A and B are shown apart, each in its own frame.
Chain A
Amino acid sequence: MKTPFSMLVTVAWRNLWRNHRRSLIMLAAIAIGLWGMIWMTALMRGMVDQMIDDAISTLSGHIQIHAPGYLDDPSVEHTIAAVADNPELDKLLHSPEVTAWSQRIRVPAVIRSERDVYGITLVGIDPQRERGLSFIADSVVSGHYLESVNDQHVLLGRKLVEQLETKLGRRIVILSQDPDNNIAERGFRIGGIYDTDLQATETTYVFAGIETVRRMLKMGSGVSEISLLGHDYRNVDGLAAEVRAVAGTAETSTWLQLDPYMASMLDVMDGFIIVWFCIIFLALSFGLINTLLMAVFERTREIGLIQALGMPPGNILLMVLVESSIMLLIGLLAGNLLSWLTLLPIRDGIDISAVAQGLEWAGMSSILLPAVKTSDVLLANGIVLVLGVLASLFPAWRASRKVPVEAITRIWQ
């Protein structure tokens, strides 16, 4: 009430260090708890970010435009007008909102070497436009990347090259189907080999110049898909609406719509992080309540004394809360510091290739980059502080409810 706050803080602070061992143990527990919260979320966020990055750079982009029906039946029949034939879309794609875009022809095909045959997806690309949009340009490990839309070479994944028992510079044959349902067949020389974290990508996609593929399939001027990047993968709905407005009858989808698994993964992650925070906090709270109860119990006489001297009961409650808040704040400070110090050495990523194949199975790559989100750190700190103060209400209430006589009978004698 009228008790000056500075006095409460002084008394609380000194009380905290009366039993420094106990307080230090509690501080350590709070710090470790916070560290566990921040680390776990940093690793999990890192994992999900990586999965999303991989998904986006494995051709999806932030937003894609397809012919209606293409997603269900990705065949050469379902095409949309190329960007050059849609001036409005062309204008939007060249606006500052779009950081990269490209158009592709993407059809199921069969690849044959002298030794073996496999089913693949043939992708005709615009090599210059793909730079910065997808993984392809950065993943070439031998030979060279495609040079132009008319490039006569193909780009194969490392694993597929192994399976076909062929190598760089050799010829392979690709078969697909043209719009009139005739088999289109063409020989290519392997101009380059790419390597990615995900084997499934390497065995699925074969890249060639888009105009070369168009001629092979005897297609008109259409394309299978247009893929584009905005500024932030978390915030694509606005841009998608603008694209939809100029895309005509074509279907516009965001990466979240294309990969509902990834979207649900993000939700599950957010939920899990809160649950994890609460679990850690609960484990902490037992110790916190216990420590404060012990502190209050030991000080029964003193609390009686200050109450006898005229401190209102509400202020005694406040005093215990101040004590626990100081403890929580120091513990959090230490925990944040500890997290920062331990995350620093691994900010360039942890090599987790020991379990890489398993992660690949789950659609992840083998370098894990921890992602510390400010909002997660704030949430962790907030949960510990707010719930911590709430948890100390019980010991504080116990302290303030000590009727003077009961407490003081211990003083008199």
Chain B
Amino acid sequence: MISISNTTATLAWRNLWRHSRRTLLTIAAMVFADTLLVFMLGLQFGQYRMMIDNSLRVFTGQMQVQARGYLDEPHMFRSIPAADKLATSIRNNTRLDAVAVRGYGFALVSSGARTIGAQISGVDPQHEPLVSSIPGLVKQGRYLQGSNSNELVVGSTLARNLKVSPGDELTLLGSGRDGSIAATVAPVVGIFESGNRDLDRQMLSMPLDTFREVFSMGDHAHSIIIGGERSQADSIAAGARAALPADGELVLLSWEKLLPGLKQAIQADFTSAWFMYLVLIVLVAFGVLNTMLMSVLERTHEFGILLALGVRHGRLGRMIITESAVLAAIGLLLGMLAGGMVIWYFRVHGFTYPGMEAMGERFNIPSVLHPEVSLRSLLPGPLAVFIATLLASLYPIWHMRKLRPIEALQTI
């Protein structure tokens, strides 16, 4: 049996090189498609990862603990009691420092010149930098210091509209958790520019304890932000969940729940990309189909001799499929190699195209992309081409199945 399959393989290999140019062109087509697929998949995954990381890094974090229902209807009274203690136990459970407590409120903010409604976030200046990039994106002045100091940092567009700069005072007027009037006056110490339009236009941060005092929050908060690596999200989530009280009043939300739009945007993009990939794969499959059909048709006479010698149709079929398999395997290997080299090159040097800066701003991605070099970008495209190639060889086999030796021998 071993010797038989060896001869089949040898025969297949030699047959492939009878028309070396044709075989090379066919392999070139596969390698072209493979390389393109690997490159595009790598780029997509790289881009998605950056979109996710960049979106989460700014403000959202990997996951959050919130009171049940707060995500859909963010009312102040839907809050987390004894939030600091809970945060500490989450830190202990997950062995992760990047856990920060926040409270949110809304207030009319007045400078001397302007009054604008703004979102107020009360943050813990010690832990906030571990879950959000905003503290590092202060363009003027400085970030908040101390959990109970009376000071504010303001989004850049909001600051421009309010016509304030560091040193100016703002008056806040809103309502507290219990419905009482929340009012305070505090100086602006810094202005941040996150690149996220909404945050820059609407947000203003103050130290958490000051926030609690102004908005009558007690020891409550609205959200506990958990950072960390996305690759370890499962174990972090398990640790965090263990710290939650059993009554189910608090829930742990993953980034997919916090930013459902982001997840679906990625899915939508992926769906449309697959349409393109499919067209490409089908075209390559047709090319291979033609090559295999030709190589079978032109050997009709030869097959007639083999049949006359007593070789079974099944054996011929195996020979043809072995040829396709060898062809497809060469394409697979070279394609993955070429594709791998291309994405490795762009991973090191970055990839960009004109117009991407404006797009990048909108989607919160950098204008230079680095493709992801991983098995999930390297394998699926070439594998799909490989399978399509094998499928394409079924037609010639089907075509040969009713060949009679005598007819075949009469064909030149």
Contacts and interface: CB of A to CB of B under 8 A. Distances in A.
Contacts of B353: 268, 271
B36 A279 contact: yes
B73 interface: yes
B383 interface: no
B267 A355 contact: yes
B26 interface: yes
Interface stretch (A123-131, A236-244, A282-290): A282-290
A260 B174 CA distance: 36
B305 to A, nearest CB: 20
A264 B287 contact: no
Nearest to A352: B268
Contacts of A287: 29, 283, 286-287, 290
A175 B108 contact: yes
A114 to B, nearest CB: 10
Given A22-B290, A289-B25, A115 B75 contact: yes
A232 interface: no
A283 B354 contact: no
Interface string A250-268: 0000000000110111011
A290 B291 contact: yes
A58 to B, nearest CB: 15
Interface stretch (A28-36, A79-87, A207-215, A370-378): A28-36
B21 A358 contact: no
A308 to B, nearest CB: 21
Contact of B293 (A25, A36, A108, A265): A25
B229 to A, nearest CB: 24
Given A32-B279, A267-B355, A290-B25, A118 B117 contact: yes
B13 interface: no
Contacts of A176: 115
A64 interface: no
Contacts of B115: 175-177, 181, 183
A28 B392 CA distance: 14
A234 interface: no
A177 B298 CA distance: 86
Given A119-B202, A282-B32, A75 B359 contact: no
Contacts of B297: 19, 21-22
A120 to B, nearest CB: 8
A119 B113 CA distance: 18
A264 B358 contact: yes
Interface residues of A, number: 68
B270 to A, nearest CB: 9
A75 B298 CA distance: 79
Nearest to A269: B355
B287 A29 contact: yes
Contacts of A291: 290
A45 to B, nearest CB: 13
A83 B362 CA distance: 34
Chain B interface size, under 10 / 10 to 19 / 20 to 34 / 35 or more? 35 or more
Interface stretch (A93-101, A148-156, A312-320, A359-367): A359-367
A268 B359 contact: yes
Contacts of A115: 75
> Secondary structure of the B side of the interface?
helix
B75 A362 contact: no
B261 interface: yes
Contacts of B36: 279
B354 A268 contact: yes
Interface in B348-370: 353-359, 361-363
A108 B25 contact: no
B181 interface: no
Contacts of B165: none
Contact of A294 (B32, B294, B362): B294
A9 interface: no
B39 to A, nearest CB: 11
A142 B9 CA distance: 73
B119 interface: yes
A40 interface: yes
B67 to A, nearest CB: 16
A190 B276 CA distance: 47
Contacts of A110: 108, 117
Interface in B158-210: 160-161, 174-175, 202
Contacts of A216: none
B272 interface: yes
Interface in B1-53: 19, 21-22, 25-26, 28-29, 32-33, 36
B262 A108 contact: no
B116 A108 contact: yes
Contacts of B26: 286, 290
Give the most central of A29, A120, A361: most B CB within 10 Å.
A361
Interface in A330-366: 352, 355-363
A274 interface: no
B328 interface: no
A264 B355 contact: yes
9 contacts: A25-B289, A28-B286, A110-B108, A181-B114, A283-B29, A283-B280, A287-B29, A294-B22, A358-B266
Given A26-B290, A265-B359, A280-B280, 8 more contacts: A19-B294, A22-B294, A25-B286, A33-B279, A36-B279, A115-B75, A119-B117, A162-B73
Interface of B: 19, 21-22, 25-26, 28-29, 32-33, 36, 73, 75, 106, 108, 112-119, 160-161, 174-175, 202, 260-269, 271-272, 275-276, 279-280, 282-284, 286-287, 289-291, 293-294, 297-298, 353-359, 361-363
Interface of A: 19, 21-22, 25-26, 28-29, 32-33, 35-36, 39-40, 43, 72-75, 108-110, 115-120, 162-163, 165, 175-177, 181, 183, 260-261, 263-265, 267-268, 271, 276, 279-280, 282-284, 286-287, 289-291, 293-294, 297-298, 352, 355-363
Closest A-B pairs by Cβ, 8 of them:
A358-B264, A119-B117, A361-B261, A286-B29, A36-B279, A287-B287, A264-B358, A110-B117
